[in-house]
C-alpha cells in the first residue's frame, strides 16, 4: 500500500511538472515579452504628469496631494477617458473597480488601475484656482506601466 501511495504521489508531481513546463513554453512562444516600468516622482509640478508613448497597460497610477482642490484628466490614444476633481473621483470610486479615491492623514489620494492604451497615455494634473507654490503641486506620484 505504501508503494502504491508513493507511486501515485510521484505521478502527481510529474504531471504538475509537465504542466508547468508546457505552460512556460506556450507563454514563451505565444506571447510577446512584456516590459514593466515603475515611475515615482515627488513634488510634481502641474501639467502633464505622465506622458507614455507606445502601447501597454497602466497597471497603477497614484496621485497624492495635500489638498482636494485639483483636477485630474486621463487621455488615452488622444481621447479623454476621464476628467474630474478629487470629489468626483471619490464619489464614483465605490462603484468602480479601476478608480479609488480617499483621504488619509490629511493627504488626498487618487488611484487608477488597469487602463489599456495602444498609442499614448497622458495624465494631466491641474491645481484648483487660488493654489500656488507647494500647494499647487502633487506631493507624490507613482505609475506602474506594462508595455507590449
| Alpha-carbon Rg for the chain in angstroms | 22
- Residue 5 CA to residue 73 CA, distance in Å, equals 61
pLDDT in tens, 56-75: 999 999 999 999 999 999 99
Q: What is the pLDDT of residue 129?
A: 86
First to last CA, the chain: 52
Whole-Å CA distances, 79 to 1, 9, 73, 97, 123? 67, 55, 11, 21, 12
Q: What is the pLDDT of residue 112?
A: 97
In the three-class reduction of DSSP (H, G, I as helix; E, B as strand; rest coil), residue 129 is classed as: coil
Amino acid at each position: 500500500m505504501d508503494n502504491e501511495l508513493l507511486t501515485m504521489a510521484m505521478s502527481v508531481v510529474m504531471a504538475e511538472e509537465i504542466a508547468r513546463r508546457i505552460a512556460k513554453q506556450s507563454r514563451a512562444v505565444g506571447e510577446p515579452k512584456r516590459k514593466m516600468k515603475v515611475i515615482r516622482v515627488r513634488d510634481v509640478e502641474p501639467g502633464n504628469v505622465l506622458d507614455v508613448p507606445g502601447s501597454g497597460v497602466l497597471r497603477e497610477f497614484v496621485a497624492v496631494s495635500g489638498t482636494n482642490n485639483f483636477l485630474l484628466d486621463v487621455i488615452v490614444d488622444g481621447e479623454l477617458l476621464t476628467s474630474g476633481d478629487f470629489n468626483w473621483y471619490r464619489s464614483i470610486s465605490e462603484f468602480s473597480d479601476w478608480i479609488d479615491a480617499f483621504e488619509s492623514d490629511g493627504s488626498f489620494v487618487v488611484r487608477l488601475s488597469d487602463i489599456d492604451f495602444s498609442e499614448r497615455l497622458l495624465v494631466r494634473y491641474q491645481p484648483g484656482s487660488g493654489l500656488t507654490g507647494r500647494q499647487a503641486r502633487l506631493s507624490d506620484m507613482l505609475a506602474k506601466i506594462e508595455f507590449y
